[in-house]
Amino acid sequence: MALLEIITVPDHRLKKPSVAVEEVNDEIRQLADDMLETMYAAPGIGLAAVQVGVLKRVIVVDIAREEEDPDPLVLINPQIIWAGDELSEYEEGCLSVPEIYEKVERPSAIKLTYLDRDGNECEMECDGMLATCIQHEIDHTNGIVFIDYLTRLKRDRIVKKFIKAKKQSQVA
Q: What are the structural domain ranges in the chain?
A: 12-171
Euclidean distance between CA atoms 64 and 70, whole angstroms: 6
CATH node for 12-171: 3.90.45.10
pTM (two decimals):
0.95
Closest by Cα among 74, 97, 85, 112 to 149: 97
10-residue mean pLDDT profile of the chain (172 residues): values are: 93 97 98 98 97 98 92 98 97 96 97 98 98 98 97 94 85 70
Closest by Cα among 64, 63, 57 to 80: 57
Counting Cα atoms < 13 Å in the Cβ hemisphere of 82 gives 8
Q: Catalytic residue among 37, 66, 67, 137, which?
A: 137
**What are the pLDDT digits (tens) for 107-133?**
999 999 999 999 999 999 999 999 999
Percent of the chain with pLDDT over 70: 99
Residue 137 designated active-site: yes
SS3 content of the chain, % helix, strand, coil (to 5): 35, 30, 35
